[in-house]
Structure 1
Amino acid sequence: MKRTPSILLASALLLPLALPATTAWAAAPQQHTQAPGWYRMMLGEFEITALSDGTHAFPIDTVMRGITPGQIQHDLLDADLSAPVQGSINAFLVNTGKKLVLIDAGAGVLYGNCCGRLLDNLRAAGYQPEQVDEVLLTHLHKDHAGGIVANGKMAFPNATVRLSQQEADYWLAPASKASGPAFLSTFYDAAVASTAPYISAKHFSPYASYGEVTPGITAMPAPGHTPGHAMYMVQSGRQQLLVWGDIIHMAALQLPHPEATVQYDSEQDHARSTRAALLSKLGKDHVMVGAAHIAFPGLGHLRKQGRQYEWLPVNYDGLPPAP
């Protein structure tokens, strides 16, 4: 039978299906890298950019307190997680239109190759370290303050570093290291080394009392994790973002069990009561939260579920609206 043109065309379209199963169009190598770690949103007239410093394996089995191994196993299974769980290290850049303010700065080199990516991500987000006017620290632990230095110099050469005076007094006093727990020994050393270039350059200015530290950003006490641990309420118009530092370290465990603490809490009971009061408030008023250690970008709301809480991450917006 003579084939018609339509039959010939159909046969041609089927030819690729007859290729050997081993044929590959491109032997592309795997990349083993992640997308640049920044995410942007508008808060009233302020531009907020979440920045990732990386993730690290959180040592659940050794640092959690006030929660049983059985509860840990149950909560991890319920969250479809298994140890070791990667913990995010997030920071938040606030462009008020008049100032560029960074809240926390990641670990820098202090946590090894897992982290220290904040400066690269800040540049990928369209900014330069020289443009940062102020760095507000929630506290002086390595994973929040280590990133303010690079190669022993100020990573943000034009910025003033600010934190509560109580926090500075505690971590920078030699007597604190002498009387503090041995496992925090390197934390005292890191706090001194990180702040030294800014102190030398007179770019270190702790605040004696809580309140507005720069227009639109208010420092608030949140003690327990460290003696002078602070939170920052960022507000533009009626919109608010609470950057809460280390209120939560492991969401999968501490949201269902707010009573659970971590070894690194200076005052376990105080950290527990601070968290309980804050979660209760946030579960009612639904203020946006910027969380240092909840999966990047660490932006979302809390919802109360009985005695537990649920994290509701922001809905991804590929084109943040203009103010």
Structure 2
Amino acid sequence: MMGAIATMFAAAFAQAAAPMAKFQAPGFYRMALGDFEVTVLNDGTVDLPVDKQLRQPAAKSIQALDKSFVKAPLETSVNAFLINTGSKLVLFDTGAANLFGPTLGKLAANLKAAGYRPEQVDEIYITHMHPDHVGGLMAGGQIVFPNATVHAGKADADFWLNQVNMDNASADDKFVFQGAVASVSPYIKAGRFQPIEANGELMPGIKAYLTAGHTPGHVTYTVESKGQKLLLLGDLMHVAAVQFDDPSVTIAYDSDSPAAMTARQQAFADAAKGGYLIGAAHLQFPAIGHLRENGKGYQYVPVNYTQPR
């Protein structure tokens, strides 16, 4: 009798076991930068066959991934950065929306989870016009950020929004042109697009630097307040496990590999020497940290978790 009762209770407890949750916390992380507030927004992750995309022997890439306890295909973060200057709400890149597969497109929801609404965004600075950076500008054929002005490198706009270039592109590349046109053109038609043609200050505390290589008009940005500085790399790097140790390694996505390598090497050297923060679209979320020189490469030191105060 006692054995039967014990079996019954065991079965009841087994049936009451909690199911696996299988969802992540909202993808935003917040920190102070001087008088500014930085909110990193995650758009999701995408699996990339980086062992085949990095321009070095696949075995060497796999060895570097193993050293960092990851593997190919590499689950790669897609991030954007929201800066509250106190007078302006400024967004750097917008994620992919539906242009890059079902595992992305979470930026709008994470923006709202972070306490903001799309209509509050004043300025949007695009690093380049690849789909995972501009896709979030539109949703269902509608402008997502109705009060924002979009800024991007003029050379990128001239290249990716050019119908002749699209017509001459390979079948694999046409979707990049199509995504740029669908995402950016509505803002141009609404008078809410301004090209960036030179290095310089865009507003107090925010500067643009032309860093062509990954794309013809790739732009990196610095955000600075009270002597604290954050460099937003865009796609100057993709694979932390490889490119911090060896910044000379390029990737198939680069339109001009030597120029992309030079821009990355310079940015890394400047950040390490200056001791300022870096943030990047494809660093592991929350994607902010410092660089320390380490032989011919660099050691990445993620920021310490902090509570807003």
TM above 0.5: yes
Q: Does the 8 Å contact 2:51/2:62 carry over to 1?
A: no
Unaligned stretches of 5+ residues in structure 2:
1-7
Q: Does 1:286 align with 2:275?
A: yes
Say whether the 8 Å CA contact 1:138–1:229 is kept in structure 2.
yes
- SS at 2:127 equivalent: coil
State which drifts further: 118-127 or 301-310: 301-310
**1:280 & 1:109 partners in 2: Cα distance?**
35
Partner residue of 2:20 out of 4, 10, 30: 30
Number of the residue aligned with 2:130: 141
* Map of 2:60 onto structure 1: 71
State the aligned residue count: 303
Indicate whether 1:61 and 2:51 are aligned.
yes
- Summarize the alignment of residues 33-112 of structure 1 with structure 2, pairs less than 5 Å apart: 33-65=23-55, 67-112=56-101
Corresponding residue for residue 302 of structure 2: 313
Distance 1:150 1:207 in 2: 25
Q: Secondary structure at the match of 1:206?
A: strand
Mapped to 2, the partners of 1:181 and 1:275 lie a distance apart of: 27
1:296 aligned residue: 285
Distance 2:10 2:142 in 1: 57
Q: CA RMSD in A?
A: 1.8
Is the CA contact (8 Å cut-off) linking 1:164 and 1:210 kept in structure 2?
A: no
Query: Which amino acid in the other structure matches residue 292 of structure 1?
Result: A
1:168 deviates by: 0.8
Unaligned runs of 5+ in 1: 1-18
- For 1:175, the equivalent position in structure 2 comes to 164
Deviation digits for residues 226-256 of structure 1, max 9, x if unmatched?
0110011001121111111001111111112
Q: Distance in 2 between matches of 1:217 and 1:24?
A: 58
Match of 1:238 in 2: 227
1:158-194 CA distance string (max 9 Å, x none): 1111111111111111122244454321101110010
Of structures 1 and 2, the larger Rg is shown by 1
Distance in 2 between residues matched to 1:149 and 1:223, nearest whole Å? 25
Aligned residue among 240, 243, 249 for 1:260: 249
* Cα distance between partner residues in 2 of 1:228 and 1:82: 31
CA distance in 2, matches of 1:73, 1:28: 37
> What one-letter code is carried by the residue in structure 2 that aligns with 1:99?
K
Q: Percent identity?
A: 46
Tell whether 2:191 aligns with 1:191: no
Q: Retained in 2: the 8 A contact 1:301–1:311?
A: yes
Alignment-mate amino acid for residue 223 of structure 2: V
> How has the CA–CA distance of structure 1 residues 270 and 181 changed in structure 2, closer, same or farther, with 3 Å as cutoff?
farther
TM-score (norm 1): 0.89
